[in-house]
């Protein structure tokens, strides 16, 4: 673990550094408050900081307040080092966001256990963060394809429609369906079908922009949200995705599967301010149905608000 030692007295700083190094910690030092703040706000800041209360530039207590105001994650565990030890001072330090305090001149064995306590709390916090991230991942990702699940992609769509409404910008929506998926499952088995879904999802993600979102809407259906895209852009994205998947050859057991996609496009442009997500989805769905009816492996565009597909590509 890396520890920041911020103390303006060279002797005290050296003593802290040598003790902590002896106990196996990696130590970064700062000789005043501003240098300490720079270290804590830099890339990969130490997770534990031992801050002298009285320092030029910025006092330890003020430094604490600065760190806490950022609410940064992961947490910085702060031990204040002070020769001020009236109850009022201690309360002021803890209120400023310090986790603990050690009186100067410090007793090495006391400091050692207090640092160990900090290390234990930081480890618990890291475990909690990783458990929380895993839960969040589980709640928002489709387990098979790893793209957004239905609830998450619908939330993304709502957010992007709000943004388009606010900014008067456009937003494209693609409803995407794997052609003849039932036949793939029946012919090659469900494991092969799963592999086709995974490969398709991977290709969709790889062929979209960083700020586009791909989600699994249902069985073999995907929803793709294209922020800022008008009709021309959305159709060209849809065509690119169609081509990318048409070029796939998925190895499945004994055979090679060449999947194709049908895509329905729906667009909200800057002028259409009150389009509900459900209407846009319906519009894309109608266009997708038209793509299927027109022979599959193709893109059709739906029109709001009549919801009638008109363009054939
Ligand atoms: Mg000092």
The CATH number of the domain holding residue 245 is 3.30.70.270
Domain's final residue, options 113, 138, 163: 138
Q: Given this model, what pLDDT does residue 174 score?
A: 98
Contact 215, 150 (CB under 8 A): yes
Q: What distance in Å separates the CA atoms of residue 206 and residue 28, rounded to the nearest whole number?
A: 41
**SS3 state at 4:** strand
| Residue 41 Cα to ligand 1 middle (Å) | 21
> Bridge-partner residues for 255, per DSSP?
252
271 band by pLDDT with thresholds 50, 70 and 90: low
Phi, psi of 213 (to 5 degrees): -125, 135
| Residue 9 Cα to ligand 1 middle (Å) | 6
308 band by pLDDT with thresholds 50, 70 and 90: very low
| Residue 69 Cα to ligand 1 middle (Å) | 23
Is residue 144 domain-resident? no
Domain's final residue, options 92, 112, 138: 138
Q: Given this model, what pLDDT does residue 306 score?
A: 47
Beta strand segments in the chain, E: 2-6, 26-30, 48-52, 77-82, 100-103, 171-178, 213-218, 221-227, 250-252, 255-257, 261-268, 299-301, 311-312
Residue-wise pLDDT for 40-51, tens only, equals: 998 889 999 999
Predicted TM-score of the model (pTM): 0.71
Pair (16, 132) in one structural domain: yes
Q: Residue 10: how many CB atoms within 10 A of its CB?
A: 10
Q: Given this model, what pLDDT does residue 273 score?
A: 64
Q: Given this model, what pLDDT does residue 228 score?
A: 95
Pair (58, 30) in one structural domain: yes
Q: Given this model, what pLDDT does residue 119 score?
A: 97
272 band by pLDDT with thresholds 50, 70 and 90: low
User: Regarding predicted confidence, which is higher, 234 or 306?
Assistant: 234
Contact 36, 4 (CB under 8 A): yes
Q: Which domain holds residue 212?
A: 150-312
- Domain of 33, CATH number, reads 3.40.50.2300
| Residue 14 Cα to ligand 1 middle (Å) | 13
What is the CA angle 263-266-271, rounded to 5?
Answer: 160
Residue-wise pLDDT for 110-153, tens only, equals: 999 999 999 999 999 999 999 999 999 999 999 999 999 999 99
Residue-wise pLDDT for 235-252, tens only, equals: 999 999 999 999 999 998
The tally of domains found in the chain comes to 2
Q: What distance in Å separates the CA atoms of residue 177 and residue 187, rounded to the nearest whole number?
A: 18
Phi, psi of 195 (to 5 degrees): -65, -40
pLDDT at 311 over 80: no
Among all residues, which ones are annotated catalytic? 220
Among 67-76, 222-231, 278-287, the least confident range: 67-76
What is the CA angle 213-264-304, rounded to 5?
Answer: 100
* 271-274 own/partner pairs: CB under 8 Å, 24+ apart: 271/168, 272/304, 273/165, 273/168, 274/165
Pair (134, 157) in one structural domain: no
Phi, psi of 307 (to 5 degrees): 60, 35
Pair (132, 169) in one structural domain: no
| Residue 62 Cα to ligand 1 middle (Å) | 13
Is residue 143 domain-resident? no
Pair (247, 308) in one structural domain: yes
| Residue 177 Cα to ligand 1 middle (Å) | 67
Pair (306, 163) in one structural domain: yes
Residue-wise pLDDT for 38-87, tens only, equals: 999 988 899 999 999 999 999 999 999 999 998 777 899 999 998 877 88
Q: Given this model, what pLDDT does residue 305 score?
A: 67
């Amino acid at each position: 673990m890396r520890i920041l030692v911020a103390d303006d007295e060279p002797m005290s700083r050296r003593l802290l550094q040598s003790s902590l190094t002896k106990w196996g910690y990696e130590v970064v030092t700062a000789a005043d408050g501003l240098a300490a703040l720079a270290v804590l706000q830099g890339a990969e800041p130490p997770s534990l900081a031992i801050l002298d209360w009285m320092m030029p530039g910025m006092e330890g207590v003020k430094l604490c307040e600065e760190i806490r105001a950022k609410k940064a994650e992961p947490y910085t565990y702060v031990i204040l080092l002070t020769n001020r030890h009236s109850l009022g001072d201690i309360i002021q330090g803890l209120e400023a966001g310090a986790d603990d305090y050690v009186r100067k001149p410090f007793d090495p064995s006391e400091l050692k256990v207090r640092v160990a306590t900090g290390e234990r709390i930081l480890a618990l916090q890291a475990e909690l963060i990783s458990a929380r991230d895993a839960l969040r991942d589980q709640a928002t990702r489709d387990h098979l394809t790893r793209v957004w699940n239905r609830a998450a992609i619908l939330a993304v769509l709502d957010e992007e429609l709000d943004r388009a409404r606010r900014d008067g910008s456009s937003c494209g929506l693609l409803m995407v369906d794997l052609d003849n998926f039932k036949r793939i499952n029946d012919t090659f088995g469900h494991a092969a079908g799963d592999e086709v879904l995974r490969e398709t999802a991977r290709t969709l993600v790889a062929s979209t922009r960083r700020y586009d979102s791909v989600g699994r809407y249902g069985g073999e259906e995907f929803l793709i949200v294209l922020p800022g895209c008008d009709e021309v852009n959305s159709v060209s994205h849809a065509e690119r995705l169609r081509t990318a998947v048409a070029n796939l050859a998925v190895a499945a057991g004994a055979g090679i599967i060449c999947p194709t996609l049908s895509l329905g496009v729906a667009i909200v442009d800057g002028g259409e301010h009150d389009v509900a997500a459900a209407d846009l989805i319906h519009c894309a769905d109608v266009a997708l149905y038209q793509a299927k009816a027109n022979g599959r492996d193709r893109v059709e565009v739906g029109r709001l608000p009549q919801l009638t597909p008109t363009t054939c590509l």
